[in-house]
Structure 1
Amino acid sequence: MIDHRIFPLLRCPTCGLRPLIVEDHGLRCPRCQAYYPFCDGYLDLMPRGAAFDYVSKYVTDEEQLAAELDYRELAPPLLAAGVRDRTLRRLMRWRKTDVVLDNGCGTAKYAVWNAKYVGLMVGSDPATLFADEAVRTVTLVKADSRVLPFADNSFDKVFAIDILEHFPLPVIDAYLAETARVLRPGGRMLAFSNTRERSPIQPLIDVSRKIGRLFVKAGVYDFEREKLRKSDHIKALATWEDVVAAFERAGLRPVKVVFWNSLFTTFVEHVLMKLGEAVIGRVRGRTPTTDVPARVSAGTAREIRARRRMRGYLRQKGPVYYALLAVTLLMELDLWLFGWMRCGSYFILVEKPRA
């Protein structure tokens, strides 16, 4: 979906001019004549002729990842994604008048889940692994976050979930500087990411990891799909001091932080849910799974089958849904009980000062 309310917010990512001319099948810059087509549910606003030293693997390996990440169909916001979503809503305090950017939206699931609470939700990403529901319900833009195609002071709020850990430091600085540029004075940004720091309760957390490794060794399940998703994590912001310094360099003032010491979360992710996926992925059912890509590993295929079957159960909002909601609330206890305790994973809320 391309909401026409986005057009006044745009500027040419190639030369910086605004406004762009709206044509039948796309947008054109009147100065540099760059043309930006309307695609299948999104706008292609990548800068023309630009060359970057760093390119995300989600762009270079988009075709492979499209097959292995099973991204097109969204489940409800549950488990770790549900904790992120609930925290996003709680800290951002959405208003119906807000114009919001999900900067580095990926599938745009968080944009989809929160679009009903705001005035205009925009998702931006250089890869087009957008979920089908996002294409139908959210204004999506193919764009590079180092050269955002939006005018200064366009957005009331911006969020970035699981983004900063992917980038080297120069890209982080460019990303945050551009975010600050398009954010209105007094506007706020929420980021969730992680550093290299260990939790003070890491020995307790590692118990669940050790149990998970025993099941992997026994061949019950594996973490190949998770390794693929995290294979380009750089964590250039290695410490909390690095995080604060990066936001301050961009002119963004920290307002609040909540750390995620994942005591309950790790048990759920490394043991409980993996066992459930192993069982569901092996059991024959009526849910079609024949279109699982042939080239993925056996463990990844089993996990994809399990998740597709689970999505079928969750659409019914029955016992399975409410059981997973209860598990989500258990995982959220990590924030309420230990959110004050410095560790690697964090939510940071920052503000662009008023002039």
Structure 2
Amino acid sequence: MVGRELYRLLQCPTCNSRDLAVYAEYVLCAGCRNQYPIHKGYIDLMPRQTEFDYISKYVSEEESMGEELDYREMAPPLLAAGVRHRQIRRMLELKPTDIVFDNACGNGRFGLWNADAVGLLVGSDPAVLFADQALAEMELAQADSRRLPFVDGAFDKSLSVDVLEHFPRDVIHDYLVETARVLKVGGRVAIFSNTREMSPIQPIINISKRLGKFFVKQGVYDFEREARRKSDHIKDLKTWDDVEAALVEAGLKPVKVVFWNSVFTSFVEHVLMKLGESLIAKRRTAKAASATVLTDEAVNASAGAQREIVARRAMRRHLTKSSPIYWALYTITLLMELDLWLFGWMRTGPYFVLAEKVEGRYVPAPLPAEE
């Protein structure tokens, strides 16, 4: 969806001019004369005449990543995504008057899940792997987070989910600087990401992982799709101290942090849900499963990813609030959320952080020296 409210937030991502003219098929910058095409559901606002050293795999391999991700259909916020959604929403304390930005929004699911609570929610991502519902109902831009196409102080709040672990340190710096720039003074951003730190209770968490590896060796299921999704993880912020430093360097003050020590989550993700997906896939006949996958872009996905996609699509049809399956998964989501309530104070890799844009004129700090 491209609505009038989005246009008033825009500036040219190439020259920063606000002198923009909107036509039926494109937005024209009067400053640099670049045209930005309006597509079905989003605007292409990538900076022109600009080259970046780092390009995400989601951009450079967009077609093949799309085949593995099964991104076009939306599901309710359940399981691990549901835990992320609920914690982000608690941290941001969203209000009906808020203008909110989902920076590197992926298919747009976290934005859509929060759009009902705010006045306007805008998402951007350099890869146009947007869900059909997001294209229809959400304000979207194809944009690079290092040169955002929004004016200073455009947003009250922002969210960032599963993003920072993909970037090298200099890109993280630029991403956070731009996030701070488009936030109002006192505006807040809620971030979920990972470092390389191990949990103090890692041996307990590893029990579920070892059990999952056992089932993989037995050929019951595999983690091909998950491995593909995480194949470009860098985790250049190695510790929580690195995260704090990066936020401060960008003009963002950490306000609250909750760590995700995945005791219950690990069992759900490595054992319970994988067994369930395997059972669903096996119960479907080979003919029905083939028809489900081969009708669209998932035809080129790996065998393991195809099995998971078949199972998840079968489940999505039952995920309405009148279905007992929905409430069973909702209960499992609450079980996973116990990891935050019981162990959220113990430092580990996965973290949620709420940070606030500091008052006063923001001047970016120099990048830290490479180690």
TM over 0.5: yes
Instruction: After TM superposition, give the deviation of residue 253 of structure 1 in Å.
Output: 0.4
> In the alignment, which residue of structure 2 is the partner of 1:39?
39
Instruction: After TM superposition, give the deviation of residue 201 of structure 1 in Å.
Output: 0.4
> In the alignment, which residue of structure 1 is the partner of 2:302?
297
Residues 1:148 and 2:153 aligned together: no
> In the alignment, which residue of structure 1 is the partner of 2:29?
29
> In the alignment, which residue of structure 2 is the partner of 1:126?
126
Partner Cα distance (2:91, 2:312) in 1: 29
CA contact (8 A) 2:255 2:354 kept: yes
- TM-score scaled by length of structure 1: 0.98
> In the alignment, which residue of structure 2 is the partner of 1:236?
236
Partner Cα distance (1:316, 1:73) in 2: 17
Instruction: After TM superposition, give the deviation of residue 23 of structure 1 in Å.
Output: 1.5
- Where does 1:66-81 land on structure 2 (aligned, <5 Å)? 66-81=66-81
Partner Cα distance (2:317, 2:300) in 1: 24
Residues 1:89 and 2:89 aligned together: yes
- Structure 1 runs of 4+ with >4 Å offset: 285-288
Partner Cα distance (1:32, 1:100) in 2: 28
> In the alignment, which residue of structure 2 is the partner of 1:341?
346
Partner Cα distance (1:56, 1:41) in 2: 22
Residues 1:325 and 2:330 aligned together: yes
Secondary structure of 1:71 counterpart: coil
Percent identity at matched positions?
A: 59
Partner Cα distance (1:162, 1:336) in 2: 21
Partner Cα distance (2:281, 2:295) in 1: 14
> In the alignment, which residue of structure 1 is the partner of 2:355?
350
- Where does 1:204-219 land on structure 2 (aligned, <5 Å)? 204-219=204-219
Partner Cα distance (1:136, 1:110) in 2: 15
Secondary structure of 2:112 counterpart: helix
> In the alignment, which residue of structure 1 is the partner of 2:116?
116
Secondary structure of 1:253 counterpart: strand
Instruction: After TM superposition, give the deviation of residue 218 of structure 1 in Å.
Output: 0.3
Instruction: After TM superposition, give the deviation of residue 64 of structure 1 in Å.
Output: 0.6
Partner Cα distance (2:133, 2:174) in 1: 30
* 1:322 partner amino acid: W
Deviations 1:105-160 (A, max 9, x none): 00010001110100010000000000011001100000000000001000000110
User: Which has the higher mean CA deviation after the structures are superposed, 3-12 or 165-174?
Assistant: 3-12
CA contact (8 A) 1:107 1:130 kept: yes
CA contact (8 A) 2:321 2:327 kept: no
Partner Cα distance (1:71, 1:155) in 2: 26
Secondary structure of 2:105 counterpart: coil
- Where does 1:214-229 land on structure 2 (aligned, <5 Å)? 214-229=214-229
CA contact (8 A) 2:168 2:236 kept: yes
* 1:62 partner amino acid: E
Root-mean-square deviation over aligned CA pairs:
1.2
Instruction: After TM superposition, give the deviation of residue 188 of structure 1 in Å.
Output: 0.2
CA contact (8 A) 1:41 1:140 kept: yes
> In the alignment, which residue of structure 2 is the partner of 1:177?
177
Deviations 1:218-276 (A, max 9, x none): 00000000000000000000011100000000010010000000000000000000000
CA contact (8 A) 1:99 1:119 kept: yes
Instruction: After TM superposition, give the deviation of residue 66 of structure 1 in Å.
Output: 1.3
Secondary structure of 2:152 counterpart: coil
Partner Cα distance (1:291, 1:70) in 2: 13
CA contact (8 A) 1:9 1:151 kept: yes
Secondary structure of 2:299 counterpart: coil
CA contact (8 A) 2:73 2:133 kept: yes
Q: Where in structure 1 are there 5+ consecutive unaligned residues? A: none
Instruction: After TM superposition, give the deviation of residue 298 of structure 1 in Å.
Output: 2.0
CA contact (8 A) 1:8 1:19 kept: no
* 1:334 partner amino acid: D
Secondary structure of 2:340 counterpart: helix
In the alignment of these two chains, the number of paired residues is: 355
Q: Where in structure 2 are there 5+ consecutive unaligned residues? A: 361-371
> In the alignment, which residue of structure 1 is the partner of 2:364?
none
Residues 1:158 and 2:162 aligned together: no
- TM-score scaled by length of structure 2: 0.94
Partner Cα distance (1:62, 1:213) in 2: 29
